[in-house]
Amino acid sequence: MAKPSFEMNNTRLLRNLLLPVHVSRRTYFGKEQSYKQAPTLSYSVRDAAYDFRSDTVTVPTTAMFEAMRTASLGDDVFEEDRTTNEFEEFIADFTGYESAVFVASGTMGNQLALRTHLTQPPYSVLLDARSHIYNYETGGLAYHSGAHVIPVHPSNPIHMTRKDVMNSLIVSDDVHYAPTRVVALENTLNGTLFPLSEIANISVVARENNVKMHLDGARLWNACAETGDSIKDYAKHFDSISLCFSKGLGAPMGSMLVGSKDFIKKARHFRKVFGGGWRQSGPIAAAAKHALEANYPTRLRETHKLARQFASELSQCGVLITKPVHTNMIWMDISPLGITSNVLQTELTKENIRIFDTDATNLRATITGEKAENDLHLRTWWITRD
């Protein structure tokens, strides 16, 4: 593909980057965002193909709705829903843990895990300063668990290292400090992979200091699909993992927290405290199970391939790709094009195209299964047109 002439009108440069249904506005992630009200499933699927904000925009399929229709309708608080119970048992076995509990969201899974691991303050949790738990769970660690947080800025720009953890871990019994009781990692983080070998190294440090390990595995499915590692390979190094079904896999909602039998029994109690008890959860569990069986790992691998292809074509257009494209996220800097994020967002909004901007010139695009390969080629062609 030929590089574009930068004499073009830059306010139109990325107009069709990422094309339709009533649009309203709301504040999200501290910024005013547009949102859509699609009248039918077909409209929703079409919209998702032009929404690059997150992989949470995936929508259910007709096959998924059929799985939901035929699910059991027992009461999960009483642990009497067959579909949910079977799904929990399936995930526990699939991941190599003793037990699992189905919860509403990844945030709930993380917060339940940390609250269950933490017993008596004072204590601290060590995690990546860029992590979801630290930045996007409304201070839940402090609110639910009364925990001090140790945010680590990795010396490696991609992931934390054993040395980072050793330098930040609080193991002193000095009364001035809150000893570290949990190390919480995230994989993937910003779409990048956390090497299993480095996780193993960190786990050794944690075990040596009697510190628990939790993994925010909202997108661990992407990591496993990309590397070929199994979730059981990760389970060896963590006391608990939260797994999300509503992102790239495409379920409407739902996450699973896995751990030991005693741990999950306690977490189930806290789930009730948090107001997270399900009643007729079967249809939601059925949707999550269908999403996993239908889309893992093949569909996720396809989105990774599309993301790398799209990033390459954007780079040829003069866009700077600022992070490695390991999975389904593209982080880009459009400053070489001479336009700002606000200008681009204004143009994209005219076409109901959605993308996250992180500052004046940086944006993130997330690729999902609704985005066909030919559409990505078409949009890149639009980027380069006069």
| pLDDT one-digit tens code per residue, 86-96 | 999 999 999 99
pLDDT digits (tens, 9 = 90+) for 72-90: 999 999 999 999 999 999 9
In whole angstroms, what is the distance from residue 131 CA to residue 236 CA?
A: 22
Pseudo-torsion of CA 278, 282, 286, 292, nearest 10°?
30
In whole angstroms, what is the distance from residue 18 CA to residue 367 CA?
A: 9
Rg (alpha carbons) of the chain, rounded to whole number: 22
Show the CA angle centred on residue 383, arms to residues 379 and 386, nearest 5°. Answer: 125
- The pLDDT, as a whole number, for residue 34 is 54
In the predicted model, what is the mean pLDDT of residues 209-222? 98
Entry pTM: 0.88
- The pLDDT, as a whole number, for residue 193 is 98
Pseudo-torsion of CA 303, 309, 310, 314, nearest 10°?
160
Helices then strands (H, E): number in the chain? Answer: 15, 13
- The pLDDT, as a whole number, for residue 372 is 65
In the predicted model, what is the mean pLDDT of residues 274-292? 97
Q: Which residues have a Cβ under 8 Å from the Cβ of 207 and sit 6 or more positions away?
A: none
Run of H or E residues at 282: helix 282-295
Is the torsion defined by CA of 160, 116, 263, 289 positive or negative? negative
Amino acid 254 reads G
Confidence check: pLDDT of 297 > 90: yes
| All domains in the chain, ordered by first residue | 10-52+297-384 (3.90.1150.10), 64-295 (3.40.640.10)
> With bands split at pLDDT 50, 70 and 90, how would you rate the model's confidence at 262?
very high
In whole angstroms, what is the distance from residue 334 CA to residue 321 CA?
A: 9
**19 is written with which tokens?**
């094309």
